[in-house]
A and B are shown apart, each in its own frame.
Chain A
Amino acid sequence: MTADARPPSAAQTVGLGAVGLALFVGIWLALTLSGIVPRQFLPTPIDVLTRTFELLAHPFAGATLPVHVLSSFERYAYGFLLAAAIGVPLGLLMGRFSWLNDIVTPVFDGLRFIAPIAWVPFAALWFGTGIGGPIMIIFSGAFPPCLINAYRGARFVDRNYIEAAQMLGTRNMRTILEVLLPASFPSIIAGLRVGAGIGWQSLVGAELIVASAGVGYMMVQGQSNISTPTVVAGMIAIGIVGLLIDVLLRRLETHVRRRRGLA
């Protein structure tokens, strides 16, 4: 329910949005070009664009921007896949066997309030700052949603399906693979999407603190060289990759839900 007597037309929506954007860019330009804010601290939008294109070809902090992005993404993919590969099966098993749930839940609850980023010192100590440490941070960020959603999905599967399968003599393993997994699939996908987002966040944090390559590392180097355009270019690259991951998984989620007649 909104206050508008009539919702704005499509043209009005686009127009208002354009005005909003123009105002945003306008204030940015006015602040920087007028010299109220030194360009060293807030680069103009043009500076940022030029710097971004420069970084595409010229290396900074050991690599060009695309190479940094790729090296970040590689770590991210390992960490996220590991979280999904452990979290989803464990969640399903917890949904099937309540004794396992009783064992895991207190441990999980105890660790839940520790921010994934707080694992950074241990990650660096145990797995180094190359690829292992960041993977562990990504894992600790992406794991909880994968686990929780798989568990919830499995827990709320219609009892009749499970009972029917059991009555037909289906073994536990097959019940999980052929009844629980498909029935909780929409919930699992939703969990993967949330986990993917948190994992990407955690990657950025890990790279700011411990890594020796990647976009986050490039940004820290930019920060210590007081190269604000590099920092902002890094933020944009991170935003774009994060957005792409989210859009892709959202598509997948809609697709799955539609096939189940849920959307």
Chain B
Amino acid sequence: MRPSRRFFVGITTIAALFAVWAVLTMVTGTVSTGRFPSPLQFWESARQVLTVGYADATLFAHALHSLKLVVMGFLVAIAAGIPLGLLMGWSRRAEAFVNPVFLLIRPIPPLAWIPLAILWLGLGDAAKIMVIFFAAFVPSVINTFTGVRMIEPHIIEAARMLGTGRRRMVREVLVPAASPMIFTGLRLSLQASWTTLVAAELVGALAGLGRVLNVAQQDIYPAMVMVGMAAVGVLGWATTRLLAMIEARAMPWLPARA
């Protein structure tokens, strides 16, 4: 309950883990560095990929490439998903029309689209954007839909009684009232985007963090694998934080979520 104690224990745990890691790999040699890198190797690999580069580019270029694809796939997916969710939530007829097809496609995990995407679009960026689209589309539709259905009827009735037009209804009633759920969907979409991108890049890519992981795996270079994973984690964290900041800006009437 006391944040100070929690903070203290957290720092101690991380420090202890780091110490155990260093001792096991560098002092006693219990863990073979051929399988798990030592902190020193990690640091050296990080420096190598940052300055000289690895797998044809520096870490910055790889990270930027992955980030660009995630952002593009995510934006395209939500640009299609949120309006579809709004429409399905608003009209039961639209829901009845779209639902069977949606139910047919939904059980197929986004990662299962990867081979098809490669067949269709090759190993380049377009295939990645396609699978990210499939990954991010479904959560944004479902959550927007649920958000609209959960709006209290009297809010819409009041707006209607005051003669609100269709466009204003969507912009000033539906979207704001459904936005907490919409943002929950966006968060899930973003997570799914990263997972799918990393998988797609591991299956085959010309650049990106997944390629760093892939090449490092083939070179049996555990320290570089770890650097790649850390980069994936940091980018995932940073984009999630960014989305949370946008969320707080977009809905100033709600208490901030962690």
Contact = CB atoms under 8 A, between A and B. Distances in A.
Interface stretch (A54-62, A74-82, A231-239, A248-256): A231-239
Interface in A200-244: 200-201, 204-205, 208-209, 216, 219-220, 222-223, 226, 228, 231-232, 234-236, 238-240, 242-243
Interface of B: 1, 5-6, 9-11, 13-14, 17, 35, 89-93, 96-101, 104, 107-116, 118-120, 148-149, 151-153, 155-157, 191, 194-195, 198-199, 202-203, 213-214, 216-217, 220, 222, 225-226, 228-230, 232-234, 236-237, 240
Given A102-B9, A220-B115, 7 more contacts: A20-B98, A118-B233, A223-B116, A223-B118, A231-B115, A231-B116, A235-B113
Contact of A205 (B111, B149, B220, B226): B111
Contact of B199 (A12, A98, A209, A246): A209
Contact of B96 (A8, A102, A235, A239): A8
B213 to A, nearest CB: 5
Interface stretch (A107-115, A145-153, A164-172): A107-115
Contacts of A16: 93, 96-97
A124 B119 CA distance: 25
B120 to A, nearest CB: 6
B92 A2 contact: yes
B67 to A, nearest CB: 14
Contact of B101 (A21, A116, A232): A21
Given A106-B14, A117-B198, A118-B213, A228 B232 contact: no
Interface in A107-148: 107, 110-111, 113-122, 124-126
Contact of B222 (A8, A21, A125): A125
A240 B1 contact: no
Nearest to B160: A3
Contacts of B220: 125
Given A102-B9, A106-B10, A107-B17, A235 B222 contact: no
A201 B240 contact: no
Interface of A: 1-4, 7-8, 12-14, 16-21, 24, 41-42, 98-99, 102-103, 105-107, 110-111, 113-122, 124-126, 200-201, 204-205, 208-209, 216, 219-220, 222-223, 226, 228, 231-232, 234-236, 238-240, 242-243, 246
Nearest to B94: A16
29 contacts: A2-B89, A2-B91, A2-B92, A3-B90, A3-B91, A4-B91, A12-B93, A21-B100, A99-B9, A102-B10, A110-B14, A114-B230, A114-B232, A115-B194, A115-B198, A115-B236, A120-B217, A121-B214, A122-B222, A125-B225, A201-B195, A204-B109, A204-B112, A223-B118, A231-B115, A231-B119, A238-B109, A242-B109, A246-B107
Contacts of A119: 229
A208 B230 CA distance: 22
Contacts of A208: 111, 114-115, 199, 203
Contacts of A118: 198, 213, 228-229, 232-233
Given A4-B91, A219-B115, A121 B213 contact: yes
